[in-house]
Amino acid sequence: VHWRKCCNIKLAHRLTAIFTIIWILQGIPYVVFYNHIISPSKNTTTCEITNEKFSEYLIYGYYFTISNLLPFISIIFGFMAYYNARHLSHRTVPLIRHELDKQLTVMVLVEVLINFCTVLPFGITYMFSKITATSSDSVFQAKIRFAASVTLSFYYLSCASPFYTYICVSQRFRQQL
């Protein structure tokens, strides 16, 4: 009952404003610490981090948290929701509502699994590439860059997957199309 009293539209507006401010503040260092570097040997321009502390924050703070820790947390809560939906039959809930709850839970669980499989490899590869950036082995660095490119392609799948998830998993959603 206490949670229902706390969850209202005013709280949603406040949380949205707070998280918007946090993400704006989190993005400011990118503008400050990324600079154009011209390579004299290749005569190419790249955009690289010029501050060592920001580079460490990016590796251990941002990518570890966003790309590695949050997918694990979301998969735990996804399985908890799936467990609750499977045990809805013990409660007195109308059959139509029960089936819709199960279907929505399966859709959320599939989306969580897709995000886990597409976001986590990129985070791990990116962290590994930044940690081993000082390696002088050019073949090793080329392999890491290739792995980062492949996992980045999978990372972009996480942006397109909700539509396909709902089309493939949700019978009710397909009927509306």
What is the rounded average pLDDT for all residues in the chain? 81
Q: What residue has token string 């909700």?
A: 162
Q: Is 8 exposed, middle or buried (0-12, 13-18, 19+ CB in 10 A)?
A: exposed
Q: What residue has token string 């401010």?
A: 21
**9 with 66, same domain?**
no
Quick one: pLDDT at residue 97?
66
**70 with 91, same domain?**
yes
Q: What DSSP designation does 10 have?
A: H
DSSP assignment string, 46-68: EEEE--HHHHHIIIIIIIIIIII
Given the DSSP bridges, would you call strands 34-39 and 44-49 parallel, antiparallel or unpaired?
A: antiparallel
Quick one: pLDDT at residue 2?
63
DSSP assignment string, 95-112: HHHHHHHHHHHHHHHHHH
The two three-digit tokens of residue 112, written as one number: 């969580």
Residue 120 burial (CB count, 10 A): 21
**126-168: pLDDT as tens digits:** 888 888 877 888 899 889 989 999 999 988 888 888 888 777 7
Domain around 161: 52-176
> Domain total for the chain?
2
Higher pLDDT, 133 or 13: 13
**27 with 95, same domain?**
no
Higher pLDDT, 103 or 155: 155
**50-93: pLDDT as tens digits:** 888 988 888 778 877 777 787 888 888 878 877 776 776 555 66
**32 with 119, same domain?**
no
Quick one: pLDDT at residue 79?
80
Give the integer Cα–Cα distance in Å for 65 and 143. Answer: 25
**103 with 38, same domain?**
no
